[in-house]
């Protein structure tokens, strides 16, 4: 089978994708697959890379690249594509749409589900209508110096920066989370503990998206569940994030030595089952395929809150998704084979 692995990409998560992509390439069985690594640089140019098993570290780019002038022609003879891209122009349905046009089979969610899950506001709207509990929120858009708030009854109101802050203060207690609607790896996400931090956090989030969310801060444990499958779904055991910073930020995800992702043994069978069932339901409601990592909070009163769906979660051999599937019983190499098999049958 001729398998193309696409990694890198134009998004803010380029570096993370390089690590995920090269880790996948290093672990694919070369006796089963003819591997064609394709690197996309930060400007969006596609390159064919020589196949080798060297794993790059965060921030490195591959060497000996050959520019691909016509990506459609290059992909013509490829059987399956593994788009290991995180964030915008990769996890958001754009690459998936291109592959659909080319009639290619590919690993993971298709165009519509990728687009929905990349956008935190649309994910909320769709999952709310399926009765899945999420954090309370407001949507904010910016027009020159004015802000438009859309509340979750779809009521719109225009504000200057003072009335915007007042509106938020009247609705939420602190801490409040501010996030770009389409983000990943916590880029542009801020936890505001006091009113003074709000406006900078809002402006920062607008650097990454023209639509942002203001969200009630959830106090509780942060847990994740990996889903694998097309129609018949496997839900992994539950993993937990333990962070010694105030939330799971970019630095704590990729730069801290003290971050811990673990398989907790003190979450009851009942809660674990509920989380697995909500994860499967969310996957189906959003029409996901192949894989997704579904992230939750468990509040102190045991209420389960879905935080987000990641359609192409971090994929180094120590990332949470492979770790959870390993816990289920599929090691990294088996998991790659399963995902490629699912792609062929999707
Ligand atoms: N409403 C919230 N309450 C508590 N913590 C939150 C909330 N929203 C986000 N966080 C924290 O911020 C991190 C990043 O936010 P998240 O919504 O997962 O964005 P991203 O797509 O960038 O990962 C989460 O892993 C969690 O630690
Ligand atoms: Mg997240």
Percent of the chain at pLDDT > 70 equals 97
The CATH number that applies at residue 149 is 3.30.1490.20
Average confidence score pLDDT of the chain: 93
**What pLDDT is stored for residue 111 in this prediction?**
98
Overall average pLDDT of the 38-42 stretch: 94
On whether both 144 and 225 belong to a single domain, the answer is no
Q: What per-residue confidence (pLDDT) applies to 254?
A: 76
Structural domain of 227? 118-133+219-344
pLDDT of residue 56: 59
Q: Are residues 207 and 314 in the same domain?
A: no
The whole-number pLDDT of residue 59 equals 58
Whether residue 239 sits in one domain with residue 337: yes
Q: Are residues 54 and 71 in the same domain?
A: yes
Same domain, 179 and 300: no
- For the residues 189-200, what does the mean pLDDT come to? 96
CATH code at position 97: 3.40.50.20
Claim to verify: residue 187 and residue 258 sit in the same structural domain: no
Q: Is residue 112 part of a domain?
A: no
pLDDT of 293 reads: 98
Atom of ligand 1 nearest to the CA of 216: 1
CATH no. for residue 311?
Answer: 3.30.470.20
In a domain, 23, yes or no: yes
Task: Give yes or no: residues 126 and 275 share one domain.
Answer: yes
**328 with 235, same domain?**
yes
Distance 67 CA to ligand 2 centre (A): 33
Please work out whether the CB of residue 181 comes within 6 Å of at least one atom of ligand 1.
Answer: no
For a ligand 1 pocket test, name from 189, 217, 319 the mutation site with the most ligand atoms within 8 angstroms of its C-beta.
189
Last residue of a domain, one of 178, 195, 216: 216
* 228-277 tens-digit pLDDT: 999 999 999 999 998 878 888 888 877 776 667 889 999 999 999 999 99
Mean pLDDT of 93-109: 97
Q: How far is the CA of 72 from the centre of ligand 1 (A)?
A: 37
215 lines ligand 1 (CB under 6 A): yes
Residues 203 and 336 reside in one and the same domain = no
Domains identified in the chain, total number? 3
Q: Are residues 18 and 100 in the same domain?
A: yes
pLDDT per position as a tens digit, 271-312? 999 999 999 999 999 999 999 999 999 999 999 999 999 999
pLDDT score for 55: 57
Mean pLDDT of 127-155: 94
pLDDT at 21 over 80: yes
Three-state SS across the chain? CEEEEEEECCCCCHHHHHHHHHHHHHHCCCCCCEEEEEEECCCCCEEECCCCCCCCCCCCCCCCCEECCCHHHHHCCCCEEEECCCCCCCCCCHHHHHHHHCCCEECCCCHHHHHHHHCHHHHHHHHHHCCCCECCEEEEEEECCEEEEECCCCCEEEECHHHHHHHHHHHCCCCEEEEECCCCCCCCCEEECCHHHHHHHHHHHHCCCCEEEEEECCCEEEEEEEEEECCCCEEEEEEEEECCCCCCCHHHHHCCCCCEEECCCCCCHHHHHHHHHHHHHHHHHCCCCEEEEEEEEEECCCCEEEEEEECCCCCCCCCHHHHHHHHHCCCHHHHHHHHHHHHHCC
Residue 328 lies in a domain: yes
CB of 230 shorter than 6 A to ligand 1: no
End-of-domain residue from the set 187, 216, 245: 216
Shared domain check, 294 and 270: yes
Q: Assess whether pLDDT exceeds 90 at residue 62.
A: no
Q: What percentage of the chain reaches a pLDDT higher than 90?
A: 82
pLDDT value at 60 more than 80: no
* Domain contains 212: yes
Q: Does residue 113 fall inside a structural domain?
A: no
Residue 111 is assigned to a structural domain of this protein: no
**Domain membership flag for residue 127:** yes
Select, from the ranges 48-52, 63-67, 108-112, the one with the highest average predicted confidence (pLDDT): 108-112
pLDDT of residue 42: 94
194 within some domain: yes
Q: Are residues 201 and 234 in the same domain?
A: no
């Amino acid at each position: 089978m001729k398998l193309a692995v696409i990694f890198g990409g134009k998004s803010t998560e380029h570096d993370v994708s390089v690590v995920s992509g090269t880790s996948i390439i290093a672990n694919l069985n070369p006796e089963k697959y003819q591997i064609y690594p394709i690197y996309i640089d930060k400007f969006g140019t596609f390159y064919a890379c020589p196949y080798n098993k060297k794993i790059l570290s965060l921030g490195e780019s591959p060497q000996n690249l050959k520019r691909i002038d016509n990506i459609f022609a290059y992909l013509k003879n490829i059987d399956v594509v593994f788009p290991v891209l995180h964030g915008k122009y990769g996890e958001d349905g754009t690459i998936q749409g291109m592959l659909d046009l080319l009639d290619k089979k590919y690993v993971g969610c298709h165009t519509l589900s990728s687009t929905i899950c990349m956008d935190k506001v649309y994910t909320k709207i769709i999952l709310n209508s399926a009765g899945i509990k999420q954090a309370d929120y407001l949507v904010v858009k910016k027009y020159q110096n004015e802000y438009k708030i859309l509340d979750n009854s779809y009521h719109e109101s225009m504000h200057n920066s003072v009335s915007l802050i007042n509106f938020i203060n009247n609705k939420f207690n602190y801490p409040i989370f501010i996030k770009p609607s389409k983000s990943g790896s916590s880029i542009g996400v801020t936890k505001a503990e006091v009113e003074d931090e709000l406006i900078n956090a809002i402006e920062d989030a607008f650097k990454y998206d023209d639509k942002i969310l203001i969200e009630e801060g959830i106090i509780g444990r942060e847990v994740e569940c990996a889903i694998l499958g097309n129609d018949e779904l496997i839900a992994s055991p539950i993993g937990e994030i333990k962070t010694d910073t105030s939330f799971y930020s970019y630095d704590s995800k990729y730069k801290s030595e003290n971050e811990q992702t673990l398989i907790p043994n003190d979450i009851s069978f009942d809660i674990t089952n509920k989380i697995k069932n909500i994860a499967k339901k969310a996957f189906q409601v959003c029409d996901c395929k192949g894989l997704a990592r579904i992230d939750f909070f468990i509040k102190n009163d045991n209420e389960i809150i879905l935080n987000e769906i990641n359609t192409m979660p971090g994929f180094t051999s120590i990332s949470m998704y492979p770790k959870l599937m390993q816990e289920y019983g599929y090691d990294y190499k088996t998991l790659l084979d399963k995902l490629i098999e699912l792609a062929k049958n999707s």
